[in-house]
Amino acid sequence: MFEQIFFWLLSGGAIVTAAMVVLPPTGRNPLYAALALVVSFFFMAGIYALLLAHLMAVLQVMVYAGAIMVLFMFVIMLLNLREDELGTERRTFAKLLGGVAMVWVGLKVALVASAVDNLPAADATTPAMASFGTVEGVGDMLFRQFLFPFELTSILLLIAVIGAVVLAKRTL
Amino acid sequence: MEALAPTLATPGGGIALLTILVVTPLLGALLLAFIPGDQKTAHRGVSAAISGLVFFLSLPLLTGFDATEPGFQWVEAVPWISALGADWRLGVDGISLWIILLTTFLTPLILIGSTSAITERVREFCINMLILESAMIGTLVATDLLLFYLFWELMLIPMYLLIGIWGGKNRLYATVKFFIYTVVGSLLMLVGVIYLRLQAGSFDYADILAIELTATEQMWLFGAFALAFAIKVPLFPFHTWLPDAHTEAPTAGSVILAGVLLKMGTYGFLRFALPLFPVAMGEFSPLILILSVVGIVYGALVAFAQQDIKKLVAYSSVSHLGFVMLGIVALNQTAVEGAILQMINHGISTGALFLLVGIIYERRHTRLIAHYGGLAAITPVFTTLFLIVTLSSIGLPTTNGFIGEFMILSGTFAEGLPVVRELGLGSWPKLVVLMTVLATTGVVLGAVYMLTMFRKVFFGPVTHEANLEVKDMNGRELLVLAPLILLIFFIGLFPNFFLSKMHASVAALIDRTEPIVEQVRDRERLERRGMAADAAPDIRVAPRRAVADAQAR
Amino acid sequence: MPSVPLSWYLIVALILFVIGAIGVFTRRNALVVLMSVEIMLNAVNLVFIAFARYRGDMTGHVVTFFVIAVAAAEAAVGLALVLGVFRHRKSVNVDEMNAMRY
Amino acid sequence: MLLELLQISPLLIVTFVGLLTMLVGAFAPAGSFKGWLGYLTGFGFLAALVAIWWLWDRTPVAFESPWLSNALRFDAFGLALMAVIAVGGLLTTLTAIHYLPAQRSDHAEYYSLVSFSVLGMMCLVTANDLLTLFIALEVMSIAVYILAGFKRQSPYAIEAAMKYFILGSFASALLLLGIAFVWGVTGAITLPDIARVFAFGNVEEGLGLEGVAHLGMVLILGAFAFKIAAAPFHMWTPDVYEGAPASVSGLMAVAVKTAAFGALARVLLTCFGDDQFREGAASWETLVAILAVVSMFGGNLMALAQKNLKRVLAYSAIAHTGYILIALLAAPAVADGTLTLNALGAGLVFYLLAYTLANAAAFGVAAAIGANDNEDASDPSYSGLAYRHPALAVVLTISVLSLLGIPVTAGFIGKLTIFSEVLQSPTGDYLWLVILAVINSIISAYYYLRIIVVAFMKPEVQPVETVTSRPLGWSLGLAAALTVILGLIPSSTLEVAHEAGRSLVHSTTPGLIGAAPVDKAALPSSAAAPRPVEAETALKDAAQEVARP
Amino acid sequence: MPRELFATDLLPWIIVLPLLGAVFNGLFGARLSKRTVTAVAIGAVVGSFALSVAAVWRLIELHDTTPNPALVSNVWNWLTSGVLTVDVSFLLDPLSAVMLLVVTGVGSLIHLFSVGYMHADKAYWRYFCYLNLFMFSMLLLILGKNLLVLFVGWEGVGVCSYLLIGFWYTDMDKAIAGKKAFIVNRIGDFAVLLAIFILLFYSRGTLDFGQLATTVGPNGALQDTGTITLVCLLLFAGATGKSAQIPLYVWLPDAMAGPTPVSALIHAATMVTAGVYLMARMNFMFVLAPDAMTVIATVGALTALFAATIALVQNDIKKVLAYSTVSQIGFMVLAVGVGAFTAAIFHLMTHAFFKACLFLGSGSVIHAMHHEQDIRHMGGLRKKLPVTAVTFFVSCLAIAGVPFLSGFFSKDEILFRVFTNAYTDAAPLTVLFFIGLLAALCTAFYMFRLYYLTFEGEYRGDHHTWDHAHEERVMNIPLIVLAVLAALGGLLGVPEGLGFGVFPNVLEEWLHGVFDTVGTRYTLSTDHALEYTLMTISVVVALAGMFTARHLYKRPADRLPAAPTGAFWHRLLTNKWYVDEAYHFLFVRPFMALAGFTHRVLDVKLIDGVFVRGSAKTVGFIGDALRRVQNGDVQAYVTALVVGVALLLFML
């Protein structure tokens, strides 16, 4: 019951704020959109916590809501777009078609995916689940089973650094 | 793969003559690439010398040819793409022998003949011609289907460049049309080739001859192969690339196109479409028969309406090739031999015509008939040669054209005649007789358009000042044409020299194909009479093993 | 046992995913488009984490961890590109980027 | 440990070279010639090739430690494609050395980004779990996004990069969602495990879970369809190829596509290759066939009216995606005991190689005409190329003919192999597909010929100036020569491709395991020759133990 | 027997000599003097004539022992393929011997005449080259032992005729006339080819005349009368082309565009009779096809009358002769049609003499008149051209059928045979006799009209020409020789009724062996009384025509009867029954229209336009339309991606 209430609150909040990112009027202004997105990320972190993914919830707040969104804010401020520079949204047939198709895809996927309820759920009370979602548990897997992707990610971040420099630095 | 042990034991005393023939022009092309581009004379000389050398190298084929052997001779087999089941297999038989010799014979003449016509990018031109020669020889000697296909497609590129670079005003349109038209056929043929390969386990011609194909398979495969060949021939109604290609091509291109390239289509029919798919041949032969005869008449009619000499000759090719197809589809010893001979004849006569048109084009830079008139008085030698070639083209006895047409028509006629009288209701024989009669009108129509053109160009008063300045042929041009003129008469007078080499191979081909074709027709006749289809005899699809063996040797 | 069925989480994630996707192809401001992509990635993260919970398998968490890293990298590169575009056009509107077409 | 480092030496070499160029480049004076870093990168790829050659006889490479064996699988297929990628990287890098200065974009970062993206590609084709796959894909993609916009003073390049980036991110999200579903229902992240789960019916029947897996498969397929530029996921291709620097377009056309195809083939054939999986839905073969048809027609038709070399090549790339997709269906049977396994044919690998060579040459020529900061590759910019630069024109012709599939080029052998293999495919009768492909080749003849027409038969509109550069010459010469050589004597290469294809064994017999090294012991011996049904149950039992720890 | 060998080996040389002459003059003539050209050309033909005489001499010797002697020469095997075997082989038998002597003899004379006629022409060498080439072809035609060799000659003479008609090619009309001749002939050849194909099949691949005779013989493969009739009709169709019969005669009048000696040689004496020769050669087959024979006889008779009516009103000296030729060949064909092969050959021979003489005479006139050919501008030329006038007059008498000149014997023989000959089971074609008689009347009239208008009365042309008019000696010799032959040639075939045992019918006897099959099918009358009656009628008719003409046209210029220009029949005849116009309307125009239509509409518009370019355009159009989707908007691209995923999901 408790879980369900939180589920409704958090997911409702996440969806509404996410919609605020995308939909006008807030969606028209990147600053408002970014703020809505931050809020949405917070709600998501809550859902993660609800799902026993504690480490992920923390990381969500720190990396996403913190680091990534700050980056966004920087850029928004840097560009300092005024309202009149934003112009008006065009309504094209493509957008309509895409919307319909995307909603259809979502519905279809949701319909099929609801079969997952047939999966037996893991019992969180077993000792095997003790370290579930903790730094220890995740870290163990990360550095044992997924070391290679982890190393690869370091290259990925390096690339991103180089890329940001190459693309954005005033002179090279 | 045991069969693939490199066997180079040939009548020529262990020399891989065919490989040499294929490779020599390529090496020549390579050599030319290293001669600096501005030394035009060197390019012309070297290329002519190389192609001349190839001609002399090809002569042993003739002297060493065993006329009693129906199968391939000078056979070579070396493993090549074993992963795909394709090997370097070459061979010559009575069907391909003369076309090969025609190729090696025409190429040096063309190279010499183009000296004054091609003055730009001479090196590229010569390289192109040599590659083309190699591809043509390769197509004719390949007895591995993939190898055949490879050379078949390879012919396209140099020809494409030849028309596109050295062609006339509208050359880009013509060359792209030529290429795409041809590719339409050949790519569908590729599917057929692959299918056969999957059935036979290799691309070897002998293996493929030995497989048993159901009637349905034969129909589809025949469709794929026949379309490619029909476009190349070109059989009506797939001919519209030809006038454009011929008109826009430089003389060399036109000559090669008419002389050899078109023959690849008819050769393909003889080599592949007939022996591999006899049942389909039986089913389709009425259609091809009608198309070839329509081509004869249609080509003649359209030729008559042309204003442009080259276009006229191009349409005359449609008409002449119709005769060849008629002979092939008749499947009768005389007709098929006539068809092969007519391929050679057409190569020589139409080749010569194009050379002559090229000579006059070089002087006047126009091909419109209306721009000429009265040339006979100004250029007597040219006129005489043109007349001889014209007469050969319309099939005057003592020239080569007559022999070919006569053999084809009489052979075809004999194919239809017996049954028409005796049974009275066979659709095929009636069709054959009717079609032969129609085809024979081509003899009349040929005279009509050729002589009308000849009259307009050469007779009457000189109406254009510029024509007064036209020079008669020079020594080089005479040198190029003299062999052709001599051959025109030589074939006309001594066709046996040529026919004797074909007998065995053609007989083997007919032995293999005709019984099955006949059965298909018999069954159709029975069905037409209202007999139940199951009462009709089954068609024996299996080819004669013996023939396959003979071919394999 | 969790009292919320797994499918509910999935549906929420899918709604978020669709919202993000619609944002990508309707918003003309490149920044908002990038944010929409972030929403999509988050939605997927939710799927992973939900599955992880119900399967009792932390692989989902690990994947999420990597996705966050990738998202960071993408954001860096994406924002750099936005700056690049802005430098040329003085505008970050995606629907004006059609110098190359047909 | 040392052995394992040796075993993944191709990856290490490429990484090392990338880092080295980055570090060294940082200290090189601004504005100086950075081409020597290109040579270094090229040597890196050569070294990687040598390493791959060394590893070839040791396939499948047995990684001992779990972190490597889960993440990577160095089998013949992966190694062969790594080699193709390295070749593609080498050829395009050589073209870049003098092209970049001519484009006023000569920065050291270019080469490290190329190295890193190649690293991503190599990981992508050898990735053994879906996570590594995703990360590798991102490493490759993000590096390529940056490379696409590398000529940052060009609005076209930046715009191309932006478009590619937005679409790429979207596709990544799709891929991730697909991975989520597949992992969610199977509980397995490595490819062999997923295959096992499907093969032995661990996804319980009647619960509708296969449907979720199918969803995942479709989403993964869609994401890869984007990367390989299959229609209708192709829309970015022309704009990006046109806007990006030619050397980058070349890299995208050859290496990126090769890598994506490799990963797609591996995923489809290993994870979803089992008949058990196909039940209850259209098989991925059908979807792939449809994508192939749409791509071929879309690419070819849209290419017809193009007047820009890079753009034509882009549409041609889309069409070729269609042909190569057909190769995915080419799975000739390999008899193994009483059971018949199906392995990928030689077509995919060989065609990718042929395609790499041809496109590297074509984009090399596009780079060559990019002298003096000329980004334009439209008709006038190379009209009459043959007059002044016959060698370039010849190379262009060879590559175009190879793309068209005219004999004596590698492209012809590639098409031939694909067509003949797909006709033998046991999963369906694909004659119709082959015929459609052939019809498409015919359509494509028109625009390929147009390239030759422009280069050879049209007069010069403006003096065609080219980047004169020895490495460019090497690259073009090598690509053209290899194209012809592979067209003439493809046998040994075909053998290699065969071996590569065979390493992706999958099965059309229900219940037979997928990609995991075929365990001979688990297979019923041919002497005993039990009935298939019995064999099946025996196998199932045996494998269930393996699957459920 | 060395002499026999000698004669056999001679045969090819008879043919080859003119060829050598032609080749020599063709290759080197332009650079040689006229004298050398003359020597070579004349030498070749005269040599050929001499050899012919020798060969025929040998044949005559053989004739004493065998009824149907033959000299045969196989030169080489020409064509062997499947069942088809054709040799290049020659046959000299009584029939070909007659033709041989006529051709080489008359040919030699005309060559001689040409020396004078053509001496001023620039292309003298070319003329003789063609003429020799013609002789070669004609000899090939005559001596061919099989149908195909004959056909080679048949076509060869057609080509030479083409070349010689268009000899003065700068005049477009002449070039057109040459082309017309060739094409009309080709239409006939088309039929011959078909006949050959049919025969080839039944004869199992051989075309040898002897074998063909066996094929249709009692035990031969071809017994079906329908087929035989078809073959005969086809061969006859060929003959109508070459021998200018209805409906294919139209080329011959136009052929007068050639030099006059050519008209004499080719279009009067030799080539145009080839059709008759062919039918005579194939007599063994024709006698088996009564229906075909009826057709042939009818066509021959109609042609004889038809052409004669046209000749009545022509004013061009050569045109009159041309129509006369058509008419006379009509008589020969008529003879063939009633099985009177001997009579046909007889008339062929006499016609060769007198018509060659007439043509050469006209040539002499034209030469003298500076190429004036309109008889309305002539008159009184006897004074200037005495030899010509006399020889012309003799030939006129001969053609008109004045007793005891050659034409009298041959024509009356034909008319008699027409009246009496009957196919075994059928009524004689008596009605054709009257048509022939009418034609004979016309012949006598127009010939003497021609003679009187040209040579008698007053000169009506310009006086400059008159002053320069003269004869050439070299041209007179052939005229005289031919006139003598025209007068006396008939003695070779004096009918039994007039010979009274003193003059044997040499020709009948000579050819008997060749035409021995005729007797088995035809009842030949030997009713002398009837013969005398018919003879009298025809003589009366001839004299009537002759004197009418004399009465009308032997007058001073101002008293000549005015042509009834307005009269319907006159217009009809001057315009040659409007046949050319009808042909033009019925065949030529539709053909050109058809060709134009085929080219412009079928080929360019339909096949190339709609199918070929149409399909290319359609593909291009689709491509262009698709391309528009690619509008550069990245969000549209995302949409496409989404739609793609949706489609894949939908397909699942």
Report CA-CA distances (Å) from E350 to C64, E355, E482, E532.
119, 8, 10, 21
pLDDT of residue E424: 66
Percent with pLDDT over 90 in chain D: 59
pLDDT of residue B10: 45
Task: Identify which of B251, B253, B473, B199 has the alpha carbon closest to the alpha carbon of residue B365.
Answer: B251
Percent with pLDDT over 90 in chain E: 45
**CA-based diameter of chain C, in Å?**
56
Lowest-confidence region among A46-50, A60-64, D104-108, E552-556: E552-556
Give yes or no for residue B546 having a pLDDT over 70: no
* Residues D14-48 pLDDT 10s: 999 999 999 998 888 888 888 899 999 999 999 99
* Residues E283-302 pLDDT 10s: 999 988 888 999 999 999 99
Report chain B residues whose CB lies below 8 A from the CB of E595: 301-302, 304-305
> What are the b/e assignments for E488-505, b being 16+ CB within 10 Å?
ebbbbbbbebbeeeebeb
Q: E169 or E520, which is more confident?
A: E169
CA D250 to chain centre: 13
Looking at E575-633, list the stretches that DSSP marks H as alpha helix, in order from N- to C-terminal side: 579-583, 589-597, 614-629
Interface test with B, best of D385, D396, D419, D434 (most B CBs within 10 A): D419
The answer to whether E650 contacts chain D (CB < 8 Å) is no
Amino acid at D132: T
In this prediction, residue D547 has a pLDDT band, given cuts at 50, 70 and 90, of very low
Cross-chain CB nearest to D189 (options C40, C59, C73):
C59
8 A C-beta contact, residue E355 and residue E403? no
Task: Identify which of B261, B546, B176, E76 has the alpha carbon closest to the alpha carbon of residue D457.
Answer: B176
* Residues B317-364 pLDDT 10s: 999 999 999 999 888 899 999 999 999 999 999 999 999 999 999 888
* Cross-chain residue pair C19–A18, CB shorter than 8 Å: yes
Residues 14-53 of C with CB under 8 A from A: 14-23, 25-29, 31-32, 34-36, 38-39, 42, 45-46, 49-53
The answer to whether C96 contacts chain E (CB < 8 Å) is no
The answer to whether D423 contacts chain B (CB < 8 Å) is yes
In this prediction, residue A129 has a pLDDT band, given cuts at 50, 70 and 90, of confident
pLDDT of residue E205: 86
pLDDT of residue B537: 46
Show Cβ contacts of residue D195 under 8 Å, excluding neighbours closer than 6 positions: D270, D271, D273, D274, D506, D513, D514, D515, D516
In this prediction, residue B14 has a pLDDT band, given cuts at 50, 70 and 90, of low
Average pLDDT score over residue span E584-609: 90
pLDDT of residue D521: 36
Report chain D residues whose CB lies below 8 A from the CB of E626: 298, 301-302
The answer to whether D27 contacts chain A (CB < 8 Å) is no
Report CA-CA distances (Å) from A11 to A4, A117, C60, D109.
10, 18, 19, 43
Task: Identify which of B256, E109, C62 has the alpha carbon closest to the alpha carbon of residue A140.
Answer: C62
> What are the b/e assignments for B205-229, b being 16+ CB within 10 Å?
bbbbbbbebeeebbbbbbbbbbbbb
CA E280 to chain centre: 14
Q: Please, which chains are in contact with E (at least 3 CB pairs closer than 8 A)?
A: A, B, C, D
Distance CA E343, CA E348 (A): 8
pLDDT of residue D203: 60
Give yes or no for residue D410 having a pLDDT over 90: yes
Report chain C residues whose CB lies below 8 A from the CB of D139: none
What is the average pLDDT value for chain C, to the nearest integer?
91
The answer to whether A106 contacts chain E (CB < 8 Å) is no
pLDDT of residue E8: 63
Lowest-confidence region among B114-118, E271-275, E617-621: B114-118
Give yes or no for residue B424 having a pLDDT over 70: no
Residues 388-427 of B with CB under 8 A from E: 391, 396-398, 402-403, 406-407, 409-411, 413-414, 417-418, 421
In this prediction, residue B551 has a pLDDT band, given cuts at 50, 70 and 90, of very low
CA E407 to chain centre: 19
Distance CA B258, CA B255 (A): 5
Distance CA C85, CA D149 (A): 10
| CB-based touch B/C (3+ pairs, under 8 A) | no
Burial class (CB in 10 A: 0-12, 13-18, 19+), D545: exposed
8 A C-beta contact, residue B500 and residue B67? yes
Report chain C residues whose CB lies below 8 A from the CB of A4: 3-4
Percent with pLDDT over 70 in chain B: 90
Distance from the Cα of A157 to chain D's closest Cα (Å) equals: 9
Cross-chain CB nearest to E646 (options A94, A95, A105):
A105
Show Cβ contacts of residue B99 under 8 Å, excluding neighbours closer than 6 positions: B140, B260, B263, B267, B340, B343, B344, B347
Give yes or no for residue D240 having a pLDDT over 50: yes
ipTM field: 0.89
* Residues B158-185 pLDDT 10s: 999 999 999 888 899 999 999 999 998 8
pLDDT of residue D205: 59
